């Protein structure tokens, strides 16, 4: 018997319904089901709620019920324990989710039969320098990106960049994105950064609205140690995979490199990234 962890988008009624149905069916077949306490309360499954620290213990697979945001949340919960994640798409066409709602039962059956593949995705390890950030465990893991950017009401920020201990250049910009290949189609794409095949291993440094002549992205080796430091009197806000972590001031910053952990995404056949790109952008065959 297997232990399933459900991670749901609490504001999507269809995710709640599917979580309740999945819990009932899986338990009827003798499997164990758990949710985070907040998710369990939202779904009326209070008896299945556990603390975040206990979520991965003995877990065989996490099942994300939502969109790409729910997948990010699931990966953050389980990646350090190398637990695989199945993504059930309850949003629009997602880059990360693999299964449509109508295919969830076949997908779970296939997983239980061992009829699946694991797609390994690089994670960033992000360490905050010069500031304590409360209960957060360092390094932070990012599947998409780490961003240092101006505060909501602020002007451009000055961010000094060094690569493998060597000074590269100061940036005057609205922000800097450090993206993984998976995250190259997220904020990095909006900032006109390059699209990188998601199973590749690299770090992409992309400036956001730079106020300087050099406005190109850099594609760096994953083993690179990239350090970004706030310079000047204007603070910068740090966000990791869309979650605001801290406001950093002069002399504070972040260090990014590839994490020794990877996100393990469950697939049921080769994943056609190019088809997803074509669908997202409405590209024609000719």
Rg (CA), the chain: 20
CA distances from 207 to 132, 163, 175, 210 (A): 26, 15, 6, 6
61-75 burial, b at 16+ Cβ within 10 Å, e below that, comes to: bbbbbbbbebbbbbb
Is the bond leading into 280 cis (omega within 30 degrees of zero)? Answer: no
Of 182, 162, 149, 171, nearest in space to 259 by CA: 182
Cβ(7)–Cβ(35) under 8 Å? yes
**What ranges in 114-217 are assigned the alpha helix state H?**
187-190
Residue 68: active-site member: yes
The SS3 call for residue 272 is coil
Distances (CA, A) of 15 to 9, 33, 161: 6, 15, 42
Tell me the C-alpha distance between 217 and 254, whole Å: 18
Catalytic residue among 21, 60, 68, 215: 68
Q: How far is CA 129 from the centre of its chain?
A: 21
Which sequence positions are flagged as catalytic? 68
């Amino acid at each position: 018997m297997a232990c399933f962890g459900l991670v749901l988008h609490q504001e999507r009624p269809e995710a709640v319904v599917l979580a309740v149905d999945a819990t009932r069916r899986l338990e009827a077949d003798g499997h164990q089901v758990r949710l985070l306490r907040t998710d369990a309360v939202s779904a009326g499954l209070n008896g299945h709620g556990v603390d975040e620290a206990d979520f991965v213990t003995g877990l065989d697979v996490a099942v994300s019920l939502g969109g790409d945001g729910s997948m990010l949340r699931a990966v953050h919960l389980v990646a350090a324990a190398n637990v695989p994640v199945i993504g059930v798409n309850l949003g629009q066409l997602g880059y990360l989710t693999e299964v449509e709602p109508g295919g969830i039962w076949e997908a779970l059956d296939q997983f239980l039969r061992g009829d699946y593949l694991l797609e390994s995705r690089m994670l960033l390890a992000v360490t905050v320098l010069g500031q304590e950030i409360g209960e957060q465990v360092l390094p932070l893991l990012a599947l998409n990106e780490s961003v240092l950017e101006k505060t909501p009401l602020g002007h451009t920020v000055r961010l000094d960049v060094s690569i493998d201990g060597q000074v590269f250049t100061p940036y005057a910009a609205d922000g800097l994105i450090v993206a993984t290949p998976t995250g190259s189609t997220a904020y990095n794409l909006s900032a006109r950064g390059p699209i990188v095949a998601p199973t590749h291993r690299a770090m992409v440094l992309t400036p956001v609205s730079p106020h300087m002549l050099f406005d190109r992205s850099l594609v760096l080796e994953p083993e690179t140690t990239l350090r970004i430091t706030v310079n000047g009197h204007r603070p910068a806000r740090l966000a990791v995979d869309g979650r605001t972590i801290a406001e950093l001031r002069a002399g504070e910053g972040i260090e990014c490199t590839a994490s020794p952990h990877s996100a393990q995404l469950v697939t049921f056949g080769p994943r056609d990234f190019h088809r997803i790109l074509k669908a997202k952008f409405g590209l024609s065959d000719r």
